[in-house]
Amino acid sequence: MSCSRSCKLCGEGRSSVGKAQETRYSSPLRYPGGKGKVANFVKLLVLENSLIGSDYIEPYAGGASVALSLLFEDYINHAYINDINDGVYCFWRFALEDPDSLCRRIMTVPLTIDEWRRQKLIHSSMDSSPEDIGFSTFYLNRTNRSGIVSGGVIGGTGQAGIWKIDARFNREALCSRVRKIAGYSSRITVSKVDAAEMIESELVRGRSHRLLYLDPPYFVKGEGLYDNFYGFEDHRKVRDAVSATPGPWVVSYDAAPEILQLYSQHEPLRYTLSYSASRASKGTEVMYFSPNLLIPKVASPAGISVAEVTKAMSAATLF
Ligand SMILES: C[S@@+](CC[C@H](N)C(=O)[O-])C[C@H]1O[C@@H](n2cnc3c(N)ncnc32)[C@H](O)[C@@H]1O
């Protein structure tokens, strides 16, 4: 089911820690607020806190770009990715359990408005199989504007725009990503539970050598971006649960005044991030850390180059 680590099809093999790479585009899913741009910062955090080889837990995984980046470069041992959205969950299961079949569909599915309509029906039908739900989620994510599954198709249904339905659907590149991920299937566990439940679980509470990264739905725009979004009370519950969590954790958010207030007991690290979802180009985000973490001193978590990670890695291996 899963391809070998030096897969002939994708031509990509497993890299080892110390070979920092540009893995920002590792995820097959496009994600509004995707955190690929902070992956290099998380690598610095792992290095600075001697968390190399630990388990990594992401209860709001979405496109899981940080998890994949850490895994592909062997910063972590195992990635636990969780998302309550059934389509996202089914997609990850499909990619890990039957990449050949998923890739066959990616290579042959028509990129037409008729097919887009068909995938929408599949996505909303109660009778669809898990594979069909996973594939329709992927299809709509890749053919809709900003990757919003419930949104409109790129180019409009009249396909009159400059960009058409196939603009984000490079079949070979997407299959290559799927196969690379499947090559790591023994080191990825996918689940679909409420994030709060995961934070309370033995997986998080019973282990000290692990990193918990929470990227909850945005406070301000969450409702328009994700099928599963949060109200203020939900955000407060997450704050309470994570604050009571013993081991290392990181939380990232849009820097809404309500979030700054909720986390006022913790030191904020603010930065700007490009949002492909809103085309408003940039938004201010904020990260919070558990008190036991050493925070890398950087100008912005979203602007860490591969060279900086390599330098930190060399320094870490000297000691
Ligand atoms: C901000 S996005 C995560 C983006 C991700 N960090 C990335 O880089 O692609 C938030 C995700 O949380 C999921 N989600 C929303 N409510 C949830 C809940 N209660 N439990 C688990 N996942 C949830 C959404 O389906 C969405 O995929």
DSSP code string of the chain: -PPPSS-TTT------TT-----TT--SS--TT--GGGHHHHHHHHHHTT-TTEEEEETT-TT-HHHHHHHHTTSEEEEEEE-S-HHHHHHHHHHHH-HHHHHHHHHH---SHHHHHHHHHHHH-TT--HHHHHHHHHHHHHHBGGG-TTSPBTTTTTT-SSS-TTTT--HHHHHHHHHHHHTTGGGEEEE-S-HHHHHHSHHHHT-SSEEEEE-PPPTTTHHHH-SS---HHHHHHHHHHHHT--S-EEEEEE--HHHHHHTTTS--EEEEEE-TTTSS-EEEEEEEE-TTPPPP--S-GGG--HHHHHHHHHHHHH-
Question: Which atom of ligand 1 is least distant from the CA of 218?
Answer: 1
SS3 content of the chain, % helix, strand, coil (to 5): 40, 15, 45
**318: CA distance to ligand 1 center in Å?**
37
Phi, psi dihedral angles at 154 (to 5 degrees): -60, 130
Per-residue confidence (pLDDT) for residue 13, from 0 to 100: 33
Atom 25 of ligand 1, nearest CA residue: 85
**42: CA distance to ligand 1 center in Å?**
18
Could you tell me if the CB of 73 is within 6 A of ligand 1? no
Per-residue confidence (pLDDT) for residue 208, from 0 to 100: 78
Query: Whole-angstrom Cα distance, residue 247 to residue 261?
Result: 23
Q: CB neighbours of 35 closer than 8 A, spacing ≥ 6? A: 65, 66, 215, 252
**228: CA distance to ligand 1 center in Å?**
7
**CATH node for 36-84+188-318:** 3.40.50.150
Question: Which atom of ligand 1 is least distant from the CA of 65?
Answer: 8
> What residues of the chain score a pLDDT lower than 70?
1-25, 222-228, 275-282, 318-319
Could you tell me if the CB of 147 is within 6 A of ligand 1? no
**158: CA distance to ligand 1 center in Å?**
31
Could you tell me if the CB of 62 is within 6 A of ligand 1? yes
The model's pLDDT over 248-302, given as tens digits with 9 standing for 90+, comes to: 999 999 899 999 999 999 999 999 877 654 455 568 899 999 998 999 999 889 8
**297: CA distance to ligand 1 center in Å?**
27
Kindly report whether the global pTM for this prediction surpasses the value 0.85.
yes
Question: Which atom of ligand 1 is least distant from the CA of 60?
Answer: 12
Locate 199 and state its tokens.
Answer: 């934070």
Query: Whole-angstrom Cα distance, residue 67 to residue 61?
Result: 8
Phi, psi dihedral angles at 142 (to 5 degrees): -85, -20
Task: Please choose from 56, 80, 83, 142 the residue to mutate so as to test ligand 1's pocket, defined by most ligand atoms within 8 A of CB.
Answer: 83
Could you tell me if the CB of 57 is within 6 A of ligand 1? no
Atom 3 of ligand 1, nearest CA residue: 62
**217: CA distance to ligand 1 center in Å?**
6
Per-residue confidence (pLDDT) for residue 18, from 0 to 100: 45
Question: Which atom of ligand 1 is least distant from the CA of 195?
Answer: 20
Enter the DSSP assignment of 216.
P
Residue whose C-alpha is closest to residue 14's, from 180, 226, 160: 180
Per-residue confidence (pLDDT) for residue 22, from 0 to 100: 45
